[in-house]
A = this chain, B = another copy of it.
Amino acid sequence: MSEQNLGVAGAASSPSASDIATLQAKILAFAAEREWQQFHDPKNLAMAVAVEAGELMDHFRWVRSEEARRVLDDARTRTEVEEEAADVAILLFEFAAVCGIDLGAAIERKLARNAERYPVALAKGRAVKHDRLREG
């Protein structure tokens, strides 16, 4: 990543836009410029992730399951949902950075663990929690 890519705007089309570490560098720079690190401890960031997750969910609270996809057909709602999803990601990425968690690696490990907990033969077509999956 070149130095000039650190600016937050204008980089949306760059090939690195999807890289967690690159995004984290921008997010941390944003907070540091505003001297917000004093507020952004792990507790407050975890709270903020949950607040934003609530706002994301808010768009779907009264919708029936089968209509959930159509919520995004409305352009204004789609933009709002995109912003809320971005808010969750920004705060989660900052949380991971502040805690020294390698989020990509943690995701890989969790997927591997889920593969053990939810073997295809048992879990296929069933939305049952792993601790009840073997009860029959």
Contact = CB atoms under 8 A, between A and B. Distances in A.
Q: Interface size class for chain A?
A: 35 or more
Given A35-B124, A72-B99, A57 B64 contact: no
B111 A26 contact: yes
Interface in A87-109: 87-90, 92-93, 95-96, 99-109
Contact of A110 (B63, B71, B83): B83
A108 B11 CA distance: 7
Interface of A: 8-13, 17-21, 23, 26-27, 30, 33-36, 38-39, 41-44, 46-51, 53-66, 68-69, 71-72, 81-83, 85-90, 92-93, 95-96, 99-115, 118, 120, 123-125, 127
